[in-house]
A and B are shown apart, each in its own frame.
Chain A
Amino acid sequence: MSVKISNSGDKLIIFLSGEIDHHSAAEMRYFIDGELERSTPSVVVFDFSEVDFMDSSGIGLVMGRLRVISGWGGKAVIENPRPNIRKMLKLAGLEKLTGQEQKK
């Protein structure tokens, strides 16, 4: 599986890799939710540096996890998205999570 988790204090870092589509998202979701519910971190970092492809199933995956994390008032950020991933995030209005939103 293409998800690795690392914990540092109250921060959970989720390293995703490979391609995120409808096929792979289901397994990723299951794995990530298990970790989230166990540690209820106040900050969750999704590290996208090794993700080479993502379609709107990845958007569903991110939005779903945001909902889970907000359940205990946690925050999420997305780090290191490649240009194609950024384009997808922008389309979904999630670019703000990367902390590098383009000013209009």
Chain B
Amino acid sequence: MKDITNSMKITIPAYSRNEGLARMCATAFASQLDPTIEEINDIKAAVSEAVTNCIVHAYKDKIGDIQMELRIVGSDTLYIRIKDKGCGIPDVKKAMEPLFTTSPETERSGLGFSVMESFMDKLKVKSSEGKGTTVTMTKRLVTRNEQTDR
């Protein structure tokens, strides 16, 4: 396991207006790895999906806390953990199927986990009913130097 070279932890209440705030915090933290615009956009989208899941599903009927922890691992890898203490997901495998949604009436597309999975390198979802869900994602950022070397 590579060393954690920097980290940040924030806790925000599950208000929908905080979706943008979470994206901004993640972007600010990731900027120290000098990401490309595409990488920044991928990170923003993945964070937005994870945080929206907490707001829409985990804390459906209340405003709970969402914890986001960000780490730089080694010299080039971004680690993001988004954790809630909400209702949990009864069937994680089912929830991760593309287009599966429990809220079609509110026009949820069922693509949240698909976005996290395809825009980041690794995605792990741990959930326990009544206790909450933790989403862990990592992405290795190609440094500018590597790009010019190619």
Interface residues of chain A, those whose CB is within 8 Å of chain B, are: 19, 21-23, 25, 29, 53, 55-57, 59-61, 63-64, 83-84, 87-88, 91-92
Q: Is the interface of B mostly helix, strand, loop or mixed?
A: helix
Inter-subunit contact A83/B38 (CB<8 Å): yes
A92 engages B111 (CB within 8 Å):
yes
User: Are B45 and A23 in contact, with the CB atoms below 8 A?
Assistant: no
A91 in contact with B111 given A21-B20, A55-B52 (CB within 8 Å): yes
- Which of B49, B107, B108, B109 has a CB less than 8 Å from the CB of A92? B109
Report whether A29 and B107 are in contact in the complex, using a CB–CB cutoff of 8 Å: yes
Interface bracket on B: 20 to 34
Question: How many Å from the CB of A34 to the closest CB on chain B?
Answer: 16
Residues of A within 8 Å of B110, CB to CB, are 56
With A55-B115, A56-B115 given, name 16 new contacts (CB 8 A).
A19-B20, A21-B20, A21-B23, A22-B16, A23-B16, A53-B45, A53-B48, A55-B45, A59-B111, A60-B107, A63-B107, A63-B109, A84-B42, A88-B45, A91-B115, A92-B111
Interface of A, helix, strand, loop or mixed by DSSP: helix
| Interface residues, chain B, with chain A CB atoms under 8 Å away | 16-17, 19-20, 23, 38, 41-42, 44-45, 48-49, 52, 55-56, 106-112, 114-115, 118-119
Q: Which of B23, B41, B108 has the most CB atoms of chain A within a 10 A radius of its CB?
A: B41
Instruction: Give the number of residue pairs across the A-B interface with Cβ within 8 Å.
Output: 67
CA distance A57 to B44 in the complex (A): 13
Contact of B52 among A21, A59, A61, A63 (CB under 8 A): A21
A98 to chain B, nearest CB (A): 17
21 contacts between A and B (CB under 8 A): A21-B23, A21-B48, A22-B52, A23-B19, A23-B20, A53-B23, A53-B48, A55-B44, A55-B48, A55-B52, A56-B49, A56-B108, A56-B109, A56-B110, A56-B114, A57-B108, A60-B107, A84-B38, A88-B115, A91-B114, A91-B115
